Amino acid sequence: MKKNRRIISILLGPVLFLFCYFLLPADVFTTAAARGSVGMVLWMALWWVTGPVDYAVTAFLPIAVNAVFNFVDMSAVISNYSSETIMLLLGASILVVSWEVTGLDRRIAAKCLSLVGGKLSTQLIFWFILTTALSSVLPNAVVCATITPIAVSMLKFIGEEDIGESKNGSLILLTIAYGAGVGGLATPLGGAMNLVTVEYIEELTGKEFMYTSWVIRFLPVMLVLVVSNVIYLIVRHCKKGDRLAGSKEYFVSVYKEMPKMTKEEIISFLLFVIATVLSFTRQFYQDLLPGLKPAYVFIVCAVLSFFIKKEDGERLLKWKNTQGKILWELIYIFAGGLALGTLINKSGAADDIGALVSSMNLDGGFITVLIIVAVTLLLSDVTSNTATAAVAIPIVISIVNGMGKDPIPYVYIASIGVNLSYMLPTSIRAIPVGYGLKPKFMLKEGIGMTVIVIALMSITGYLLLTYWPAFSTT
């Protein structure tokens, strides 16, 4: 029976694709490329969730299908598999290998557990608030890529080796992905998607946009998001007495009993800290070193890690041994998500969706807000947040201008959906999947969270639009 389900899943993927390619209405999706790209979303989502083949194999479908159907220029698809974010993930993965070799991962894990303790609800709150705070001023991919391996080290330390089979482990990694997404909305520095929005606001107003204005206007939104996400995670999953293995006191004693850090541990730790700090402080040296972006900082530090020598004179890392421990699946899943987004955007499918929204004769009221939030959030689930912003923001401006209303508050509302997404292993959500989180679990939890967030953000956005005049200004 299990074999039959696998065969059905394998066959159903291309069937869904061909159904969309040939049968989606041409008056909605105006080109074969757009219809095929929508079919690719369904095909990849099905295979990622049901898992009839390895997740990384599914991630290569955009290349294979585009080679046959030629939806978009192949160089645009291929470039996603060697993008800056992919280099960042590769560099971070190599640095984390050095943790495992030196035993630094166990030391970090014991320290985290000694600070937070094993209570599940406390763990979820800690990881969510940490990633949300960091993502408010840093790219969410950097935050997720640096925080996730720390959490994985902690989980392995207490015996949760198989993240996919561990509900607690899966929840913690999912919480980190949620926090990284939510935090990006707090300030314009949270990601490139917000900077795209700022550019459009400056075009509309003809004046410089102050970042403090963003923080003030999104503060009510952030409060609702943080509280709702944490409540959802705790109420849905945490029962009284739920905890990870061991007590806080136990891990305090374990950490104290650990030997002093070796020279190799110290160097491995410093390289990761240097990469992280330089990524976080990019704005202070970008004029001096314009090419040293966060991705390349991690690559430089990863290269340096191969020069670390142990006390016996042997090199700590050798490529032959290291390559088997690199999370290649994580890297390819992330790249596949980016490539899928390229198909959606460059095929015209995203524009067709925008045109569909434009034809709904919206009046700027609650339904308008609901549709903007829902469409941008769902679009962010199948493509990158930045690509969604680049496509959706000008469409929203055009629609609202057609109503004769001020587009500024609606641009703010669109930014909410642009930043948030919960269901598919695309964008930063590929990172926890690469560490073992099952896409099926992500989708199952993400559907409920998506419905709740769309409802809450639509209500919040409408109330701010209606009752807070400052929300309509810059």
* Tens of pLDDT, residues 292-317: 888 888 899 999 999 988 888 888 89
Residue 241, phi-psi category: left (phi > 0), alpha (psi -120 to 50), beta (remainder) = left
Quick: pLDDT tens for 45-73: 889 888 899 888 998 999 999 999 999 99
**Contact 356/397 with Cβ under 8 angstroms?**
no
Q: What pLDDT, on the 0 to 100 scale, is given for residue 240?
A: 63
Collapsing DSSP states into helix, strand and coil, what is residue 315?
Answer: strand
Looking at residue 339, the DSSP 8-state letter turns out to be H
Band of pLDDT at residue 167, cut at 50, 70 and 90: confident
Mean pLDDT of the chain: 86
Can you give the pLDDT at residue 1? Answer: 46
For the ranges 69-78, 81-90, 369-378, which has the lowest average pLDDT? Answer: 81-90
Q: How sure is the predictor about 377, in pLDDT bands with cuts at 50, 70 and 90?
A: very high
Phi/psi of residue 363, nearest 5 degrees = -115, 5
Classify each residue of 8-35 as buried b or exposed e, where b means 16 or more C-beta atoms within 10 Å of its C-beta: ebeebbbebbeebbeebeeeebeebbbb
The alpha carbon of residue 423 and the mean position of all alpha carbons in its chain are separated, in whole angstroms, by 10
Q: Name the phi and psi angles at 186, rounded to 5.
A: -65, -35
**In whole angstroms, what is the distance from residue 184 CA to residue 139 CA?**
7
d(CA 388, CA 182): 16
Give the CB-side neighbour count of residue 31, counting CA atoms within 13 A: 17
- Cβ neighbourhood burial of 43 (10 Å; 0-12, 13-18, 19+): buried
Query: Can you give the pTM of this predicted structure?
Result: 0.78
Arithmetic mean of pLDDT, 205-218? 82
Tell me if 417 sits within 8 A of 376, measured CB to CB. Answer: yes
Q: How distant is the alpha carbon of residue 457 from its chain centre?
A: 19
